[in-house]
């Protein structure tokens, strides 16, 4: 086979972990591990949700040979040269996995490469892109007939990403479970707890400071309330790949996060075990311990959760792809939280000098108009109806805790949410189908 370069274009943390990861695995499975024959490069474009660590995450994938971070994207787009002046082989394919669909058009022309676009909800530039792999047939429904041959339904990459993971949660610390039992009032209570089936609940408070300041104390407060009423519940926080233990723990510390008191939360401390095989914990003042899961992506873990409490963002898309019921929380006690929002509002709120005024205006407009639609979580956007609850306002742990307890007490409600989530998503196998399309374009 002729020496080939495969260039992956992507942008945000969600795309890098849920799209790039399964696709590069599938490409290596199809084309082999000989880098002299097939080289895989990743170039990232700017994203308002980026943390700056996306390049390191992409480079950690063993299938990837080289990565250019987002800060060097514009010179590459304009002049076709990377920051490190990469060489390019004469034959190649540009694969779009996040960003703006005009990017593969421009870069493909500059490098003389074929172009393949993964289109989740919409496909553009039909006349300039060589092939499209779409999530559902509806994406290609309105395409002019003369471009129909370019479209292949591949399925949902998020489903593919989740199905590839083989993490095992059987070691969700028995030591932690024993530690929980020591907090019970007597031996008979502990004995009763061992006999009950553990109900795992995931807490996903976000990855940015503006979200974490509210999300951490609120979610931990809910966990305390639920566990007090339902002792068989167990809680876990899967850390975002851009977040470390100490940073997360700082938002549970009343001395470092004053807003935590607004939620009636008493604080929590970080416990890092000496045994490398054990999980770190957050222990609240009530004695509740919450396990911290640092492996990423944590799809196998999340798939075992009976319900998750999350904020808006990519988390809702991932949970939706996994078919995991969720409650989406948007506390508004801290107006500056809008700085962590997606899209244009987040960009406006972060403008130097005008960020704070814009943040207040955006919040006011959002609370007054947008919230009425109830379509902020990705599963609700996909379905155009509220499949998973979205709660916005000055939220308090007790009111959310009561809702969680009601869902746990009525498993048929959770089963209904799972069924609806699975219905709105695409099929698995998308990464292998995209790799097949890339192979066909290489052949041309």
Q: Given a cut of 90, is residue 336 above it in pLDDT?
A: no
Length of the chain: 444
* pLDDT given at position 170: 36
Mean pLDDT for the stretch of residues 159-174: 46
CATH architecture type of domain 166-424: 3-Layer(aba) Sandwich (3.40)
pLDDT digits (tens, 9 = 90+) for 204-238: 998 888 789 999 999 999 999 999 999 999 999 99
* pLDDT given at position 196: 56
The residue that leads in pLDDT, 321 or 256, is 256
DSSP secondary-structure letter at 392? E
The residue that leads in pLDDT, 104 or 313, is 104
Residue-averaged pLDDT of the chain: 84
CA 99 to chain centroid, in Å, comes to 16
Would you place residue 359 in the very low, low, confident or very high pLDDT band (cuts 50, 70, 90)? low
pLDDT digits (tens, 9 = 90+) for 29-43: 999 999 999 999 999
* pLDDT given at position 296: 76
Taking the complete model, does pTM exceed 0.75, yes or no? no
Among 420, 421, 432, CA closest to 321: 421
Token pair in block for residue 417: 């949410």
The reply to whether 4-156+427-443 and 166-424 are identical in fold is yes
* pLDDT given at position 52: 81
Mean pLDDT for the stretch of residues 46-66: 88
8 Å CB contact between 48 and 346: yes
Would you place residue 158 in the very low, low, confident or very high pLDDT band (cuts 50, 70, 90)? confident
Q: Given a cut of 90, is residue 162 above it in pLDDT?
A: no
pLDDT digits (tens, 9 = 90+) for 243-301: 899 999 999 999 999 889 899 999 999 999 888 778 999 999 999 999 999 887 788 88
The residue that leads in pLDDT, 51 or 408, is 408
* pLDDT given at position 313: 81
* pLDDT given at position 366: 55
The residue that leads in pLDDT, 310 or 158, is 310
Please give the sequence-ordered ranges of beta strands (E in DSSP) within 25-130, or none if there are none. 38-44, 66-68, 91-96, 114-119
Token pair in block for residue 135: 């999530």
Residues of the chain above pLDDT 70, percent:
81
* pLDDT given at position 160: 65
Mean pLDDT for the stretch of residues 358-364: 58
* pLDDT given at position 5: 97
Q: Given a cut of 80, is residue 132 above it in pLDDT?
A: yes
CA distance readout (Å), 51 to 57, 99, 204, 206, 311: 11, 15, 17, 12, 17
Would you place residue 373 in the very low, low, confident or very high pLDDT band (cuts 50, 70, 90)? low
Token pair in block for residue 409: 């007490």
**Residue whose token pair is 């960003």:** 99
* pLDDT given at position 368: 55
Mean pLDDT for the stretch of residues 4-14: 92
Q: Is 32 in a helix, a strand, or coil?
A: coil
* pLDDT given at position 141: 87
pLDDT digits (tens, 9 = 90+) for 381-412: 878 889 999 998 889 999 999 999 999 999 99
* pLDDT given at position 264: 92
Which of 155-164, 318-327, 356-365, 420-429 has the weakest average pLDDT? 356-365
- R_g (Cα) of the chain, nearest Å: 23
* pLDDT given at position 168: 35
What are the residues whose beta carbons fall under 8 Å from the beta carbon of 227, sequence distance 6 or more? 233, 235, 288
**Residue whose token pair is 């590839």:** 164
Would you place residue 155 in the very low, low, confident or very high pLDDT band (cuts 50, 70, 90)? confident
* pLDDT given at position 371: 52
> So where are the chain's domains?
4-156+427-443, 166-424
Q: Given a cut of 70, is residue 321 above it in pLDDT?
A: yes
Question: Rounded CA gap, 217 and 429, in Å?
Answer: 39
Query: Quick one: 4-156+427-443 is in which CATH superfamily?
Result: Glycogen Phosphorylase B; (3.40.50.2000)
């Amino acid at each position: 086979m002729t020496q080939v370069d495969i260039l992956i274009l992507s942008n945000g943390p969600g795309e890098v972990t849920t799209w790039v990861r399964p696709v590069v695995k599938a490409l290596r499975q199809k084309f082999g591990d000989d880098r002299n024959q097939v080289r895989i490069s990743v170039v990232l474009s700017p994203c308002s949700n980026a943390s700056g660590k996306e390049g390191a995450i992409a480079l950690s994938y063993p299938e990837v040979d080289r990565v250019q971070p987002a800060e060097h994207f514009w010179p590459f787009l304009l002049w076709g040269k990377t920051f490190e002046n990469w060489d390019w082989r004469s034959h190649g394919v540009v694969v779009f996995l996040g960003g703006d669909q005009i990017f593969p058009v421009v870069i493909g022309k500059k490098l003389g490469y074929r172009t393949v676009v993964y289109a989740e909800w919409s496909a553009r530039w039909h006349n300039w892109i060589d092939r499209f792999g779409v999530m559902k047939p509806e994406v290609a429904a309105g395409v002019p007939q003369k471009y129909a041959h370019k479209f292949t339904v591949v399925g949902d990459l998020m489903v593919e990403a989740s199905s590839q993971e083989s993490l095992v949660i059987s070691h969700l610390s028995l030591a932690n479970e024993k530690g929980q039992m020591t907090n019970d009032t007597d031996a008979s209570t502990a004995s009763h707890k061992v006999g009950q089936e553990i109900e795992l609940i995931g807490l996903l408070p976000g990855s940015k400071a503006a979200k974490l300041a509210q999300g951490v104390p609120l979610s931990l407060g809910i966990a305390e309330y639920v566990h007090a009423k339902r002792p068989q519940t167990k809680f876990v926080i899967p850390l975002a790949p851009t977040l470390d233990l100490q940073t997360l723990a700082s938002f549970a510390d009343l001395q470092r996060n004053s807003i935590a008191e607004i939620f009636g939360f008493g604080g929590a401390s970080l416990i890092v075990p000496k045994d490398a095989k054990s999980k770190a914990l957050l222990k609240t003042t009530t004695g509740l311990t919450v396990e911290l899961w640092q492996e990423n992506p944590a799809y196998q873990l999340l798939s075992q959760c009976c319900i998750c409490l999350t904020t808006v963002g990519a988390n809702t898309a991932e949970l939706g792809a996994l078919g995991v019921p969720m409650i989406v929380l948007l506390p508004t006690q801290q107006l500056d939280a809008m700085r962590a929002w997606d899209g244009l509002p987040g960009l406006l709120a972060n403008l130097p000098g005008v960020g704070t005024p814009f943040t207040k205006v955006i919040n006011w407009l959002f609370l007054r108009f947008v919230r009425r639609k109830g379509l902020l979580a990705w599963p609700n956007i996909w379905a155009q109806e509220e499949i998973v609850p979205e709660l916005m306002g000055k939220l308090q742990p007790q009111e959310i805790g009561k809702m969680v307890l009601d869902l746990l007490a009525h498993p048929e409600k959770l089963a209904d949410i799972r069924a609806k989530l699975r219905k709105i998503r695409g099929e698995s196998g998308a990464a292998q189908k995209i790799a097949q399309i890339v192979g066909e374009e290489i052949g041309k």
